[in-house]
Structure 1
Amino acid sequence: MTAVVSASRAETIEFQGRKAQRADSRERRRAILEATLRIVVRDGIRGVRHRAIAKEANVPLAATTYYFKDIQELVSDAFNLFAQDALKQTEQLEETGFAVLEKLKGANLADPQIFEVLSTALTNAVVSHVKSQIEDRDKRVVEHSFKTEALRNPALALTACIPQANITNSLMNFFKALGSKDAETDAHIVHGVILYVEYLLLLDQGILSLEQAQKAIRRMITQLLALAVKR
């Protein structure tokens, strides 16, 4: 059983606006992008306007048009900044999964007791990830806002696919390490369930409780593990 650890993926995200060379210029550019994200949380994508951003970032109006040729480019780079930071959480989940496998290295994963340990550890890791995601509600609002906008904006859709592909790739690497015969499909199943569970928990309308979410995640993981390790 060999762990397949993916390389850092931050370099796959390419910013479109004017590059900043000096430290103070980089700080101003980032301040503009962070202000954009705050506006998205408060007012949605439609609230993103040059004047609103300049006021929120406390910068001259000319600064927003200096770094970004139009609103579309600014929105795209704001999402790039968000996605770049989000990659760290993806890497943490991946590292946790491989750490579990490392502890069981050489063990017979099909053994009922070992299988139970693995299933429980992975369930706890995914549930912990989900909890951390929904606790940062503003970031999830940003994420869903950009996903919705990407349905109307082909350029933004390309950007939106990068963090999604990175998460699926991380999960696929994990299932390959387990010996899954269809690691890509397994990865899509896990990713889909995580997104669905997060969304319902964020709505907080009683459709899904955290306890029910944990049961669903455990069942999914147990069944996929059974396919991967029980020949």
Structure 2
Amino acid sequence: MGRRDELAEAGVRLLARDGIRALTHRAVDVEAGLPAGSTTYYARTRRELTGLVVAHITEQLASDLRELSIPASLEDATAVQIASAFLDEIARREDAQAARFALLFELRGDDELRGPLTAADPVRFALIDTARAILDAIGVADLQEAAVDMVGLIDALLLYRTAGAGPVDPTRVLTAYLTGLRRVGSPPA
């Protein structure tokens, strides 16, 4: 792990633990166990420091996504298992997800920094393509809208898990979603 990654990881931990106001150059230096001024060498302003953390979170998600493989044909239960396993994988980076959600709210007025955390990011397009591949493999007809909805659903499940907002069973929710897609896409009986 390079110095930039060390600093970004320290920033992620600070954001997750202490909130957005804790993200300062000095605090990142301390969190990373580096001499004072180290963070400033890589990110001169607080905005650049925030951008460093945002880029790190996005790169981690892209890396997790590249490791995912979708077969050409799936049963619904297998599709749910794949989606649940991916949710588990990205949820394992709990600090990164907590930081991401905090930044989504904090950066509402900054489209440039917020963009990589939202639907405007190429990683989000890759997530939608992955959802589309899962849905295509089980034979869902309206792939584009359903894929966007599936990514939103997984993101909501991730928020609930990361925030400890309440007990939600991702397998049950994803199964209900896919079952609902089948009913909507099926011809009337």
The TM-score with structure 2 as length reference comes to: 0.81
**Contact 1:41/1:142, CA 8 A, preserved across alignment:** yes
- The Cα shift of 1:27 comes to 2.5
Q: 1:73 to 1:90 in 2, by over 3 A?
A: same
**Identical amino acids, percent of aligned pairs:** 20
Root mean square deviation, CA, Å: 2.8
Q: Deviations over 1:90-144 (max 9, x none)?
A: 2344x1xx22x35x6xxxxxxxxxxxxx011111222222333434422221221
Q: Deviations over 1:51-71 (max 9, x none)?
A: 111222233333322222311
**Contact 2:101/2:159, CA 8 A, preserved across alignment:** no
- The Cα shift of 1:214 comes to 2.0
Pair 1:127-2:84 in alignment: yes
Ranges in structure 2 where 5+ consecutive residues have no aligned partner = none
CA distance in 2, matches of 1:89, 1:30: 16
Residue identity opposite 1:157 in structure 2: R
**Contact 2:26/2:37, CA 8 A, preserved across alignment:** no
CA distance in 1, matches of 2:163, 2:2: 34
Residue identity opposite 2:62 in structure 1: L
Q: Deviations over 1:141-189 (max 9, x none)?
A: 1221222223132221222232333312322344456665432101111
Q: 1:214 to 1:175 in 2, by over 3 A?
A: closer
Question: Which residue pairs with 1:74 in the alignment?
Answer: 49
How many equivalent residue pairs? Answer: 185
Q: Deviations over 1:9-44 (max 9, x none)?
A: xxxxxxxxxxxxxxxxx8222222221111111211
CA distance in 2, matches of 1:177, 1:127: 16
CA distance in 2, matches of 1:88, 1:228: 33
Ranges in structure 1 where 5+ consecutive residues have no aligned partner = 1-25, 105-117
- The Cα shift of 1:81 comes to 1.2
The TM-score with structure 1 as length reference comes to: 0.68
* Structure label with greater radius of gyration: 1
Q: 1:58 to 1:136 in 2, by over 3 A?
A: closer
